[in-house]
A and B are shown apart, each in its own frame.
Chain A
Amino acid sequence: MSRRGAPLDWALGAWGIAFLAVLYLPIALVLAYSFNRNVVNMMVWEGFTLDWYRSIFGLATRLAEDASYVHSTEGLVHAARNSVVVALAATAVSTVVGTATALAMARHRFRLRPLYQALLVMPMVMPDIVLGVALLVFFVGAGMTLGLGTIVMGHCVFLASYVFVVVSARLAGMGADLEEASADLGAGPWTTFRRVTLPQVAPGVAGGALLAFIISMDDLVITYFIAGVESTTLPVFIYGMLRRGMKPEINAIAMLLLAFSFVIAATGLWLRARRR
């Protein structure tokens, strides 16, 4: 860089560091408070403890007893289990569906293709509340009981689009040369798909599945509208807790949730960087 740009570089650097700080300081705060021993006022630091984490897992702790918040643990575990079940089922379905669509769109041209493509991205870009209330109206109108089943169906609608986008990006970078070579050498379409296309596209599929899993675990708005009374997921459960008031154990729950999504996201991003 020329000397003329030096003060600008310095200013940009300071701005960039501040930008990262804005992104991470709020999260770091929650982490710090999740170790706070103060039962009466969670905002005042009193000392380090792991008791909030213990109380989430239903272990008896001095703090949790003093604070008498333990009753929510059962609901929490139930909600967490629901979240994982929904995310696994919705990820499995949407990964297959979205991958098939990506393969079709990458290798075939047809007349309504641009229109179809617009339809595919709509569930991702429209405000989630619109999809949430539309699904609520639909499920109730169709006489279906709101529960884990309706949540899985609702999640598949937008997760399949995310998988489609991720796998499409992978396919766009692949080119059709190897597939054509395989066909020229006499392999049938199925063999070509299984031995040539699938191994090449696999990292994209894995990335799409990880993304779908995280988004499903994270979804609050759509789930909020189409979850039945007995089928609360983790984000909906925490949302309910927050609306009733703030309790110290929320810090610990939030941190566990954060650690969980960060590990999965980091795995996905790392996979993508490595394969490039």
Chain B
Amino acid sequence: MSGALSARRRRALAGLLAPHSLLLAAFFVVPLAIMAVYSVLTPGLYGGVEWEFYPYGYGRVLGAPLGEVEEFDPVYGEILLRSLRLALTTVVVTLLLCYPAAFWVSRLPPRRRALVLFLVTLPFFANLIVRVYAWMLILRPTGVLNQLLGLAGLPAADLMFSETAVVIGLCYVLLPFMFLPLYAAVERLDPALVQASRDLGAGALFTFRRVILPLTAPGILGGCILVFIPAFGNFVVASLLGGAKVMLVGNLIEQQFLAARNWPFGAALAMLLLAAVLVLLVVYVVRTPHPEGVR
């Protein structure tokens, strides 16, 4: 298409985009804007806010309290660091699990490959809560894991309500988010390039490091970001498998909104989470080549 839009095409475009634009404006942009404003207001005595500038919400987390009324509490920094640590662990574990699996799937004969891809995708559609529940059955003190350990004559493992349990749950729930981008990259990898590297005398490890790894890097980056974001903001897995012992930033936000009723502080935490995610997404978009016309 060339030149300016004709009046008719412009009307069609406006008509088609109007519903979604209204939807996003009313229930996405405006709510986020309100939350941004709330994050710098004074918490009301019984929930809600009072219209007075009060950046303590950020100050409490980032270590810049405004003096007399409140003090900087390192516990919030610890919660943020723990969320970061567990999310990064989840990323690494899912990457290690999925990378070889992606190669396996890509080398299957076509019919079997379609079946396996279907099987890998299917759990993605299973209810999140059901998938977390399955691990509650396995990890609880009387659970499957300890029954098996008992049968093998090994001492019981007390994993329920621990960071390990939370990481296991996060990995299980987010596995498809890592697998699918990885598989897409591995499938595009030209076997001829790998063969050429070997024929020219490169060792297996060298070929992996200099040919396979760089060529699948976009998939690795994509998978890591897609796993990191939901892992970092998750609160369901932590609340069911981590209990009160493993508090993540998601649990802290939930608590501020539903129990402590300190909305400005909760809003400030949510804004920090959103900022972290936006930075990651910008990195992803900048680092990923986008051929024209391909989404």
Interface residues of A (CB under 8 A from B): 1, 9, 11-13, 15-16, 19-20, 22-24, 26-27, 29-30, 33, 41, 43, 96-98, 100-101, 103-104, 108-110, 116-120, 122-123, 125-131, 133-138, 140-141, 153-154, 156-157, 160, 164-165, 168-169, 172, 189, 214, 217-218, 220-221, 225, 235, 238-239, 242-243, 246, 250, 254, 257-258, 261-262, 264-266, 269, 273
Contacts and interface: CB of A to CB of B under 8 A. Distances in A.
Given A12-B107, A264-B125, A133 B133 contact: no
B291 to A, nearest CB: 12
B16 A27 contact: no
Interface stretch (B66-74, B112-120, B151-159, B213-221): B112-120
Given A127-B232, A127-B273, A160-B23, A238 B129 contact: yes
Given A24-B123, A96-B19, A138-B27, A220 B128 contact: yes
B31 A33 contact: no
Interface string B272-283: 011001000100
Contacts of B130: 27, 30, 238, 254, 257-258
B162 to A, nearest CB: 17
B170 interface: no
A220 B133 contact: no
Contact of B137 (A30, A131, A136, A189): A30
Interface in B277-295: 277, 281, 285, 293-295
Nearest to A12: B104
A262 B128 contact: no
A138 B31 contact: yes
Contacts of B30: 138
Contacts of A24: 119, 123
Given A12-B100, A130-B233, 17 more contacts: A15-B101, A19-B100, A24-B123, A26-B138, A27-B134, A125-B281, A126-B277, A127-B250, A133-B253, A134-B32, A157-B24, A217-B127, A218-B128, A220-B128, A238-B130, A262-B122, A262-B126
Contacts of A120: 20, 24
A97 B20 contact: yes
B161 interface: no
A246 B140 contact: yes
A12 B130 CA distance: 29
Interface of B is mostly: helix
A64 B198 CA distance: 65
5 contacts: A22-B175, A29-B144, A125-B229, A264-B125, A266-B118
Interface in B20-40: 20, 23-24, 27-32, 34-35, 38
Contact of B277 (A29, A103, A127, A164): A127
Interface in B83-135: 97-98, 100-101, 103-105, 107, 114, 116, 118-131, 133-135
A134 B35 contact: yes
B5 interface: yes
A109 B234 CA distance: 37
A220 B107 CA distance: 37
Contacts of A135: 27, 31
A265 B122 contact: yes
Which of the listed residues B31, B103, B123 has the most CB atoms from chain A within 10 Å of its own CB?
A: B31
A15 B23 contact: no
Interface size class of B (residues with CB under 8 A): 35 or more
Closest 10 CB pairs of A and B: A127-B233, A16-B104, A104-B16, A26-B134, A265-B125, A138-B31, A134-B31, A19-B101, A101-B20, A12-B104
A105 B142 CA distance: 54
B6 to A, nearest CB: 11
B144 A43 contact: yes
A20 B239 CA distance: 27
Contact of A100 (B17, B35, B234): B17
Which of the listed residues B8, B232, B254, B270 has the most CB atoms from chain A within 10 Å of its own CB?
A: B270
B194 to A, nearest CB: 10
Contacts of B1: 109
A137 B273 contact: no
Given A168-B295, A221-B236, A137 B129 contact: no
B100 A30 contact: no
Nearest to B24: A119
A174 B35 CA distance: 41
A246 B134 CA distance: 11
Contacts of B233: 126-130
Contacts of A30: 130, 133-134, 137
A114 B77 CA distance: 36
Contact of A98 (B20, B120, B263): B20
Given A20-B116, A109-B1, A169-B295, A134 B104 contact: no
A118 B122 CA distance: 27
B100 to A, nearest CB: 5
A100 B19 contact: yes
Interface in B42-84: 48
B230 A127 contact: yes
A16 B23 contact: no
A185 B257 CA distance: 60
